[in-house]
């Protein structure tokens, strides 16, 4: 192995899949050999069976759907407000000076700590779940987008000025398009974090969703169901990540090599 | 071709010091008049303030004192009447070659058909035919600068400001670019202000070479270049060219030595 030498596409797939195989093999070894008792960790086979019964008998697909709705809903609301605000902060320094100190403070407030308050304010319905996701994502999006927009290449801005652009044109035709690919990368990252908030929100005061199912399974000591729930979240994350990357390649052909 | 007269009067630039550092004087009071259709090269060692002067004319920097006027109208801030090509590659990476060239035309709100006609004309004149739909990252440095030149020219500015536009290119490409620029100038006679530290480039292109001193910059000499047009590369080996070069080298060497000692 030499540092920084690229790996071929085939080898990449083999290596990536190899780790998954190794991971499952170790898991199987630990459980089937009786080394870890089933009370603590279900075997891969039992996990799949638990998953099958969850999907066929207990309507787990509905739980998945409601959780996806919460994540995507809260995330989209946060992005719809956070991205424009971040762009304005990056572009206009007085706007940044006004919002930045508060946003920097607010982004360290743990979204999960708001759950008891939010239950008080919004009950245990969807508004409360969406609020948790919103609080967890919004401030992160704002601050990261502001940094991206603020780092727009000055020589491109100057070139646009000499071509007759004014403030509005600079924002619309230079700052936004130049920031767009990185903004999308940021959204991909934040969507990943949103998944951790939704599960926390569903562990407390929820009657549906993947997190609620995991909580219920704990009462029954069904580690198979719990692990299946966690794996489903991982798979959904993997799929959205893949879709996001594919979308970025399509939207920004100029940015990729 | 008729045009407007650029007048730089007493333009001075002082940069504020960082913290307790003393402010630095980058440009001493400078006067320069550029007549319509003239090609003026500003020649000077690195850091002499020649780029600062050009940026002030472009409106991208503000003079500490003095004024820049175009036919008596004071210039404040940048505008499409002064097109600029930078030393760094400043094509918009998210726009194709043709879209880059149309940027200023779109900003002006020209009808789409007119935009395309103008863009096509300058794509042809800068030899970019066949590359209209390429992204900037797919172009060589020379092609990117040709596109940047086309983008500035498409806007039909009163004055073309060129800040060492070929400085990052290899020697052979640079010579080809000089010939291309000369060809365009000979056809249009657009007013050009060209900043460079390359003596050959200054003589080959300009009607008048303004030599700047080491920092703090001021104009220390002006040399008219009486070489006839149209010019081509063979001119660089003529005795007249050599004589001009010898004279300018003398002026510049002194300044480079001063700059190195400072």
Provide the domain count of chain A: 1
pLDDT higher than threshold 70 for residue A242: yes
Does ipTM top 0.95?
no
Q: Which domains, from first to last, does chain B contain?
A: 6-14+24-91+156-261 (3.40.50.300)
For residue A17, tell me if it sits in a domain: no
The answer to whether B133 contacts chain A (CB < 8 Å) is no
- B255 within 8 A of B220, measured Cβ to Cβ: yes
For residue A14, tell me if it sits in a domain: no
Collapsing DSSP to helix, strand or coil, A47 comes out as: helix
Question: Residue A125 corresponds to which tokens in the numbers above?
Answer: 């319905």
Instruction: State which residue of chain A sits closest to B88, comparing Cα positions.
Output: A155
The residue to which tokens 């998954």 are assigned = A20
For residue A8, tell me if it sits in a domain: no
- Please tell me whether the peptide bond between B230 and the residue prior to it is cis, using omega within 30 degrees of 0: yes
The residue to which tokens 């600062």 are assigned = B52
Alpha-carbon span B189 to B38, nearest angstrom: 7
For residue A21, tell me if it sits in a domain: no
Gap from A254 CA to chain B (nearest CA, Å): 6
- B219 within 8 A of B8, measured Cβ to Cβ: no
The answer to whether B22 contacts chain A (CB < 8 Å) is no
State the number of CA atoms in the 13 A half-sphere of B41 facing the CB. Answer: 25
For residue A185, tell me if it sits in a domain: yes
> What CATH number is associated with residue A197?
1.10.3720.10
Domain of residue A196, residue span: 42-251
Closest CA to B54 of B13, B17, B21: B13
Instruction: State which residue of chain A sits closest to B82, comparing Cα positions.
Output: A162
- Which residues of chain B does A159 touch, with a Cβ-Cβ cutoff of 8 Å? 84, 86, 90, 92, 148
- Which residues of chain B does A160 touch, with a Cβ-Cβ cutoff of 8 Å? 92, 103
For residue A137, tell me if it sits in a domain: yes
Closest CA to A122 of A213, A216, A212, A201: A201
pLDDT higher than threshold 60 for residue B1: no
- Which residues of chain B does A180 touch, with a Cβ-Cβ cutoff of 8 Å? 94
pLDDT tens for each residue of A170-225: 999 999 999 999 999 999 999 999 998 898 888 888 889 999 999 988 888 888 99
For residue A54, tell me if it sits in a domain: yes
pLDDT tens for each residue of B32-68: 999 999 999 999 888 888 999 999 999 999 999 999 9
Alpha-carbon span B258 to B45, nearest angstrom: 10
pTM of the model: 0.89
Collapsing DSSP to helix, strand or coil, B249 comes out as: helix
């Amino acid at each position: 192995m030499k540092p920084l030498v690229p790996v071929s596409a085939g080898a990449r797939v083999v290596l990536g899949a190899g780790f998954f195989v190794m991971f499952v093999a170790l898991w199987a070894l630990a459980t089937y050999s009786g080394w870890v008792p089933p009370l603590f960790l279900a075997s891969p086979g039992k996990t799949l069976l638990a998953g099958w019964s969850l999907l066929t008998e207990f309507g787990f697909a509905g739980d998945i759907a409601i959780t996806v709705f919460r994540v995507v809903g809260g995330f989209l609301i946060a992005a719809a407000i956070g991205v424009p605000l971040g762009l304005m902060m990056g572009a206009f320094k007085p706007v940044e000076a006004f919002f930045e100190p508060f946003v920097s403070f607010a982004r360290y407030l743990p979204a999960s700590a708001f759950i008891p308050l939010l239950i008080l304010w919004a009950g245990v319905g969807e508004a409360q779940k969406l609020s948790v996701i919103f609080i967890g994502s919004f401030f992160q999006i704002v601050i990261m987008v502001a940094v991206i927009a603020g780092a727009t290449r000055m020589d491109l801005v100057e070139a646009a000025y000499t071509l007759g652009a004014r403030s509005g044109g600079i924002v619309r035709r230079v700052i936004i398009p130049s920031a767009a690919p990185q903004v999308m990368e940021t959204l991909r990252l934040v969507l990943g974090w949103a998944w951790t908030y939704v599960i926390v929100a569903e562990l407390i005061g929820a009657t549906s969703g993947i997190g609620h199912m995991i909580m219920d399974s704990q009462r029954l000591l069904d580690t198979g169901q719990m692990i299946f729930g966690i794996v489903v979240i991982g798979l959904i994350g993997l799929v959205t990540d893949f879709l996001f990357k594919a979308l970025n390649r399509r939207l920004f052909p100029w940015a990729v090599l | 071709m008729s045009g407007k007269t650029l007048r730089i009067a007493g333009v001075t630039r002082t940069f504020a010091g960082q913290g307790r550092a003393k402010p630095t004087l980058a440009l001493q009071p400078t006067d320069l008049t550029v007549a319509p259709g003239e090609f003026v090269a500003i020649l000077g060692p690195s850091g002499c303030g020649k780029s600062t002067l050009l940026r002030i004319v472009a409106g991208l920097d503000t003079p500490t004192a003095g004024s820049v006027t175009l036919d008596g109208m004071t210039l404040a801030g940048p505008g499409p009447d002064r097109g600029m090509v930078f030393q760094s590659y400043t094509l918009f990476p998210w726009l194709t070659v043709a879209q880059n060239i149309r940027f200023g035309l779109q900003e002006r709100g020209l009808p789409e058909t007119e935009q395309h006609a103008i863009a096509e004309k300058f794509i042809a004149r800068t030899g970019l035919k066949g590359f209209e739909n390429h992204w900037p990252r797919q172009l060589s440095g020379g092609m990117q600068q040709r596109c940047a030149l086309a983008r500035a020219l498409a806007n039909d500015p009163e004055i073309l400001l060129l800040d060492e536009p070929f400085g990052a290119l290899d020697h052979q490409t640079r010579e080809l670019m000089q010939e291309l620029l000369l060809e365009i100038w000979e056809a249009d006679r657009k007013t050009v202000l060209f900043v460079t530290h390359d003596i050959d480039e200054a003589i080959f292109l300009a009607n008048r070479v303004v030599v700047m001193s080491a920092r703090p910059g001021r104009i220390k000499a002006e040399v008219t270049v009486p070489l006839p047009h149209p010019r081509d590369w063979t001119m660089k080996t003529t005795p007249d060219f050599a004589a001009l070069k010898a004279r300018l080298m003398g002026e510049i060497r002194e300044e480079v030595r001063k700059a190195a000692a400072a």
